[in-house]
Amino acid sequence: MKTQASKSILKIKNPSTEQFLEIWKQYQPFLIEGVAEHWDACHKWSNDYLIDHCGSKVMSVVYFKKGFLDNYKNFAYDKNNGADEKKMQYKEYIKDIENKISNNDDTGCYLYEVDFEEYFSELIGDVTYPKYLNRKPWVNLWHGFSNKNFTSASSLHFDRIYNIYAQIRGRKRFLLFPPSNYLSFYPPLDDSSGMGHNSKVNPDLLQFELFPKFPWQERIEVVLQPGEILYIPPFWWHHVTAVDENISLSFWYDIKLQDFFRQKNMLKVFFNIAPHYIRHSISSEGSLWHMMNLFKGMIS
């Protein structure tokens, strides 16, 4: 069996804002310990507590056909390819995943990217928003699981924001890749899906022959434990899988124009990506929307 070695990640304990910004300038991901572990969320958010406080909220959940996430072509939760969004109460979702965990069901689902302030307003007091970046975040909650036959996952992609990602319960595994050469990540620029921030590569499948230019050897693997925070810089590629039933909160912050001059290499990375977005946007409406998003926030 082919395996893949991994680089290690910098860890820092309870940094001051100055210490955070000093590392942030390096434009590298890093792990923060000793912060989120003190939030009430990390101690209180059992399924019973969540059902008591937010169980009747109705939200969208993605359901997958068997094997959906194993196919490298399913780089996004594509409805046409066997992923389906269902609306349901949070308590129904929790009961459903509890059953899927105990039955080792091979069809799965994922409550992903749910607006925390809108759907979980009762729980805001259980969390202390990180203040390292002097701007308002938008916060999303992710609740997924893993059993013997299914693992909720987010395929390899990058975002155009800073991500301060807090693990509240259970564990999540991240594979991170530095944004060196955009095209070596095989973004799906050959269709009109506007998914230019996604990669066709599933880094777990190690398809070296199919994706020869992919920077396999650059991979950084992190298994995020409850109470840990992972900082992911903009445009860094990440692939995320559940290790067990788990809940996370992502705090996303806009990039400002001046940041490009304060962080090592970020401008270079941007100029490596932007021409492909621009060229693709001429032929794709979706991509035009994504390109506008690429610039969103920078000028405010």
Ligand X SMILES: O=C(O)CCC(=O)C(=O)O
E strand or H helix at 139: strand 138-144
Q: Give whichever of 78 and 285 is closer to ligand X, judged by the CB atom.
A: 78
| Minimum distance from residue 153 beta carbon to ligand X (Å) | 7
Residues near ligand X (CB under 6 A) are 112, 142, 154, 159, 163, 165, 238, 240, 248, 250
55-56-59-65 Cα dihedral, nearest 10 degrees: 70
112 phi, psi to nearest 5 deg: -120, 145
Q: Give whichever of 159 and 245 is closer to ligand X, judged by the CB atom.
A: 159
Report the residue number whose CB is nearest to ligand X: 154
| Minimum distance from residue 269 beta carbon to ligand X (Å) | 17
| Minimum distance from residue 250 beta carbon to ligand X (Å) | 4
Q: Give whichever of 243 and 288 is closer to ligand X, judged by the CB atom.
A: 243
Distance CA 266, CA 271 (A): 9
Q: Give whichever of 235 and 270 is closer to ligand X, judged by the CB atom.
A: 235
Residue 23, CA atoms < 13 Å, CB-side half-sphere: 21
| Minimum distance from residue 283 beta carbon to ligand X (Å) | 26
Helix 90-103 with 47-54: angle, nearest 10 deg: 160
Q: Give whichever of 62 and 123 is closer to ligand X, judged by the CB atom.
A: 62
Determine the straight-line distance between the first and last CA of the chain, rounded to whole angstroms: 50
Minimal CA–CA distance to 154: which of 137, 165, 142?
142
| Minimum distance from residue 132 beta carbon to ligand X (Å) | 16
**What is the total residue count of the chain?**
300
Angle, CA 12 vertex, CA 7 and CA 17 arms, to 5°: 130
| Minimum distance from residue 165 beta carbon to ligand X (Å) | 6
Distance CA 30, CA 150 (A): 28
Q: Give whichever of 154 and 199 is closer to ligand X, judged by the CB atom.
A: 154
